[in-house]
Each structure stands twice: as C-alpha cells, then as structure tokens.
C-alpha cells in the first residue's frame, strides 16, 4: 500500500503537468493535429482513471464527462473560457491611467487658483478705481454747480437789492414830482386801501415811510394837500403815528415821540346855549378807542386826528426824504 502511495506521489505530478501541456498544445494546434490530439486525450483520461482507482481517489466530474468525449471537451473549453473571462474581468493597472496627484501638483493647483483670485481682485480694484474717479468727477461737478448756484443766488440778491434801490429811488422821485414838496421832505397820497402796518411796508418799499409831520407848519401843509386831493369828500388817511407800545404814548414810525397833536374835538355849543352832558354821537372827542384803537389817521377835510383800529383799511400818505 505504501508503494502505491509512493508511486502516486511520483507519477501524478508528472501526469498532471503532462495533461496541462497537452491542453496547451490542443489550444495552440487545434485543427492541425486533430486525430493525434484526440488519441492523446483518450490515453490521458484512461491513465488518470487508472491512477485514481489505484490511489483510491474519489471520481470527479471527469468520470461523468471524460476529456475524450465531446461533452468533456465542451466542459473543458467552457472552463477555459470562463477562466479567460475572469482574467479579462480582473482589473489590471493600466499604464494610461492618470497617476495620483503629488504634493507639488496640489501646491501648483492652489497657486493657480490664488492667481485667478488675484486677477479677479485686480479687475475689481480697477473698476472701483474707475468708480472712485467718477464719484470724484461728480463731486467736483456738484461743487461747481453749488458754487454757480451760490454765485447766482448772490447775483440775484444783488439784483434784488438793486431793484429795491431803484424802486425806492423811483418812489422818492415820484413822491416829490407828483406829491407835495415841503422843505427836505415830500408827501404823496396813495388811494389804495391798506391796514396801517401794510401801508407802512409799502411806503418803506418805495423808499419812504408813513407821513410824520414834525411840526404845526408841516401839519397844515399836509392838510391843504389832502383836502385838495380828496375834495369834496372826507376820507381818513393813515399817518405814521401810533401808541402800540404803551397806551397814551404816541410815537412816530421812526421811534421819536410826538411833540404836538391835532385831535378832533366835538363841536362846542354856541354862546348862550346850555352845554350838553353827553358827547356828540358822530364826532366824539379823540382819542376815545383806548387799547382797541392804537393807530392815528388824519381827516382829509379839516386835518384832525382820529384814533382807529390798526387793522382797518384806509388810504395812506407816504413821506419821502428830498
């Protein structure tokens, strides 16, 4: 029995290698040595069978389809084809595949990206510089416009001042040419109805002021002028006299205190008639308005002074320096 095992150990590897060589020869020279190969396969199969029987090895798939038969040959070729397919399916490293990136490649890639970012930032800085330049230009243009507007405003103000001076000079000349010239002043009647403050403003705009008779002579001359201008009617005309600051303290528009008065007095009873205890209903003594009537107007018929509500709209007479 030991001899049989020894014989198997020596013969079986050689037979197996012989079998593999025969199969390689079959694939290489198939179709050329057809008959010889067929006989070789039959002998190989027979030898393997006897060897397995001698060694007591179990019969494998080769017993069912020995290599010598057609079925065995097909099974053998199928196994070979499957082996070749498995070898083809097994991934082998290809020389054409890209190698793994090295640290130098990574650094180069990062530097390239940084260079791209730097170029983008440079373009952004260029555009920001262009915007800054445009903003500076717009700011300069706006400053020039403001300067031009300031110059225009100054010119307009100067023009308005010149117009005011021209209007005042025109009013002064008109007052002295059309009105009453008396000494170093002229009086001019205006037939526009205005409140006392508005009348003063209009006289000032024309270069004068509401009439401020300084003495009895000027008062009498103004009375004759107004009577001649408004006859046969009797119209109250604003003067530049008021007691708005304090009741009973009458001042001119220039702030000077009035030194004389020409208040209206009710008619006195004829000699021998009994005096009446009640005031005249149509012409009471003036001033009688108290704090409700603080501005003075002159009657055009007799030149007497009456106190009135300052908001009442009356004619007015302006005074201009000559």
Q: Domain map of the chain by residue range?
A: 179-266+284-321
Question: In this predicted structure, what is the pLDDT of residue 140?
Answer: 94
d(CA 201, CA 192): 13
Per-residue DSSP letters for 279-305?
PPSSS--S---GGG--EEEEETTT--E
Instruction: Compute the C-alpha angle 71/72/75, nearest 5°.
Output: 85
Specify the pLDDT at position 42. Answer: 78
Residue pair 27/80 in contact by the 8 Å Cβ criterion: yes
Q: What is the DSSP letter of 290?
A: G
- pLDDT, residue 13, reads 47
Q: What's the confidence (pLDDT) of residue 25?
A: 46
Q: Which residues of the chain have pLDDT under 50?
A: 1-20, 22, 25, 29, 32-33, 60-73, 76, 89, 91-95, 279-280
Identify each DSSP E strand in the chain by its residue range. Answer: 180-182, 185-194, 209-210, 236-242, 251-252, 295-299, 305-308, 314-321
Distance CA 283, CA 289 (A): 13
Please give the CATH architecture assigned to the domain spanning 179-266+284-321. Roll (3.10)
Number of residues assigned to the chain: 322
The pLDDT value recorded for residue 63 is 46
Which tens digit of pLDDT belongs to each residue from 143-181?
Answer: 999 999 999 999 999 999 998 889 888 888 888 899 999
Q: What is the reported pLDDT for 61?
A: 45
Q: At residue 314, what are phi and psi to the nearest 5 degrees?
A: -135, 170
CA-to-CA distance for 248 and 263, rounded, in angstroms?
13
């Amino acid at each position: 029995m030991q001899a049989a095992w020894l014989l198997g150990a020596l013969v079986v590897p050689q037979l197996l290698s012989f079998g593999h060589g025969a199969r390689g020869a079959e694939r290489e020279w198939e179709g050329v040595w057809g008959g010889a190969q067929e006989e070789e396969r039959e002998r190989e199969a027979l030898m393997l069978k006897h060897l397995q029987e001698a060694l007591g090895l179990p019969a494998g798939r080769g017993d069912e389809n020995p290599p010598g038969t057609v079925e065995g040959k097909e099974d053998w070729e199928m196994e070979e084809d499957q082996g070749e397919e498995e070898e083809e399916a097994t991934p082998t490293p290809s020389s054409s595949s890209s190698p793994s990136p090295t640290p130098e490649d990574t650094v180069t890639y990062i530097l390239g990206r940084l260079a791209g970012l730097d170029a983008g930032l440079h373009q952004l800085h260029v555009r920001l510089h262009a915007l800054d330049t445009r903003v500076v230009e717009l700011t300069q243009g706006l400053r020039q416009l403001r300067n031009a507007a300031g110059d225009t405003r100054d010119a307009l103000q100067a023009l308005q001042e010149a117009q005011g001076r021209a209007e005042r000079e025109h009013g002064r000349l008109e007052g002295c040419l059309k009105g009453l010239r008396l000494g170093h002043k002229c009086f001019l009647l205006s037939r526009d109805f205005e409140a006392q403050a508005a009348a003063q403003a209009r006289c000032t705009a024309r270069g004068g002021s509401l009439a401020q008779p300084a003495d009895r002579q000027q008062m009498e001359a103004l009375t004759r002028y107004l009577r001649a201008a408004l006859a046969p009617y009797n119209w109250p005309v604003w003067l530049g006299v008021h007691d708005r600051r304090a009741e009973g303290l009458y001042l001119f528009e220039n702030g000077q205190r009035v030194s004389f008065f020409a208040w209206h007095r009710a008619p006195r009873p004829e000699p021998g008639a009994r005096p009446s205890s009640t005031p005249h209903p149509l012409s009471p003594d003036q001033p009688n308005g108290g704090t409700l009537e603080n501005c003075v107007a002159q009657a055009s018929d007799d030149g007497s002074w009456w106190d009135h509500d300052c908001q009442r709209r009356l004619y007015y007479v302006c005074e201009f320096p000559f």
